[in-house]
A and B are shown apart, each in its own frame.
Chain A
């Protein structure tokens, strides 16, 4: 049989098209799968833990730092004067810095400067997880907590660069030097690892609420399952307007603020 050069080129072309066709098909079917996963409805049997902070209630108790103290105590979080060395799981930011400035430009100065608690948003699409090279941080399937495995963290700080909320801190110095007392119930961390809030995963396992929620005297923090329409947090979100920090980035934060 005679096989011309022209026929050879045509056949090769057809093979290439057929091969790339499979790739294209895979992209489309793959895209459908991930679409279903991110709508949340398909995974509704799973929990998605979230928090609601009522800033009006929080405002009633100015200078109150009970939530922060409770967290520091529960997790052996050191106190350092040098701002670069500070470790933050839950901390305060001026209200103005929480949301994009356009939304707050006509607020009174006092109201703008009011300190509001902030913590890790336990995002639906956590950028920190995407960049972690060792799998030391990941999104828990069952309840959506963005967990940390401190045993695996190598301290590369990619996650800190990726997080748009500044929710992660690096241990520049041995944290034990900044602790007045050691709480034996939770390990400290060591120099050279990153850490952040985990919604008190260790307390949830014992059936307790996160330490900050429990400590708040104004009951300004509500914690619960966002996938359960009957939960208190969903009821509150259904009846009032709440803000999230920078949702336009597509991270899908799970901490809401009642204004």
Chain B
């Protein structure tokens, strides 16, 4: 009977350890909800069907890049027949914003920030005159 205090303390420690991930999540305010993306206000359609964009926008961007830089071909005809200029800043970022859209989803998915932004300009940044 003298061990009771040790047993209870051990049980409590055990509970604390196995429920730690849960408390950590609560403390970090993590949720299972997907991020709330800021969608373009006046546009309904992306340059390709949304299911394709969700999974393969990086591939589309690389195709655009090769087409423009290596094949000198700058026009893209979308699935619904619209013609777009193949440009990351000039087309994607006309409709989407970097911070509330690209960055938010990439952060959620643990992708980080693609290095493209080292060179390609976020139009929101271009408006700020630098010293």
Tell me whether B121 and A181 are in contact (CB under 8 A).
Answer: no
Which residues of chain A are within 8 angstroms of B123 by Cβ–Cβ distance? 184
What residues of chain A lie closer than 8 Å to B90, measured between beta carbons? 184-185
B7 CB, min distance to chain A CBs, angstroms? 61
Contact between B129 and A190 (Cβ–Cβ < 8 Å)? no
Chain A residue nearest to B115 (CB atoms) is A190
Known A-B contacts A187-B121, A190-B119; the reply to A181 vs B70 at CB < 8 A is no
Residues in A175-213 with C-beta less than 8 Å from chain B: 176, 179-185, 187-190, 201, 205
A142 to B73, CA, bound (A): 12
Convert B98-131 into 0s and 1s, putting 1 for each residue whose CB lies closer than 8 angstroms to a CB of A. Answer: 0000000000000000010011110101100111
A158 at the interface (CB under 8 A from B): no
Grouping DSSP codes into helix (H, G, I), strand (E, B) and loop, the B interface class, with mixed when no group exceeds half, is: helix
Which A residues touch B65, using CB under 8 A? 151
- 0/1 string, B69-100, CB within 8 A of A gives 1: 11010100000000000001110000000000
Answer yes or no: A140 CB below 8 A from chain B CBs: yes
Q: In the assembled complex, which residues on chain B have CB atoms less than 8 Å from the CB atom of A179?
A: 130
Instruction: Note all chain B residues with C-beta closer than 8 A to A205.
Output: 72, 74
* A 61-84 contacts with B by CB, 8 A: 76
A147-B69, A151-B65 are known contacts. Are A187 and B120 too (CB-CB below 8 A)? yes
Roughly how many angstroms separate A187 CA and B69 CA in the complex, as a whole number? 12
Q: Which of A127-171 contact B (CB under 8 A)?
A: 140, 142, 147, 149-151
Tell me which residues across on chain B come within 8 A of A184, comparing CB atoms: 89-90, 121, 123, 126
Q: A184-B89, A205-B74 are in contact. Are A150 and B126 (CB under 8 A)?
A: no
Neighbour of B69 across the interface among A151, A182, A189, CB < 8 A: A151
Decide yes or no: A182 and B121 within 8 Å by CB, A142-B72, A205-B74 being known contacts.
yes
Task: Check A149/B70 contact, CB under 8 A, given A182-B121, A182-B130, A183-B126.
Answer: yes
Interface size class of A (residues with CB under 8 A): 20 to 34
Complex alpha-carbon distance, A188 and B130, angstroms: 14
Shortest beta-carbon distance from B76 to chain A in Å: 14
Contact call B126/A182, Cβ cutoff below 8 A:
yes
B121/A183 in contact, CB under 8 A: yes
- Interface pair B118/A190, CB less than 8 Å apart: yes
CA distance A188 to B115 in the complex (A): 12
Instruction: Give Cα A180–Cα B130 distance, bound, in whole angstroms.
Output: 5
Task: Tell me whether A181 and B119 are in contact (CB under 8 A).
Answer: no
Q: Flag if A188 contacts B121 (CB, 8 Å).
A: yes
Question: Which of A140, A150, A183 interacts with B119 by CB under 8 Å?
Answer: A150
CB distance from A162 to the nearest CB of B (A): 21
B-chain residues with CB within 8 Å of residue A151 when the two chains form the complex: 65, 69
Q: A181-B126, A184-B89 are in contact. List 8 more A-B contacts (CB 8 A).
A: A149-B69, A150-B69, A181-B129, A184-B121, A188-B121, A189-B119, A201-B72, A205-B72
Q: Which 9 A-B pairs have the closest CB atoms?
A: A190-B118, A187-B119, A184-B126, A182-B126, A184-B121, A187-B120, A184-B123, A149-B69, A182-B121
The chain A residues found within 8 Å of chain B, CB to CB, are: 76, 140, 142, 147, 149-151, 176, 179-185, 187-190, 201, 205
Q: Which residues of B contact A (CB under 8 A)?
A: 65, 69-70, 72, 74, 88-90, 115, 118-121, 123, 125-126, 129-131
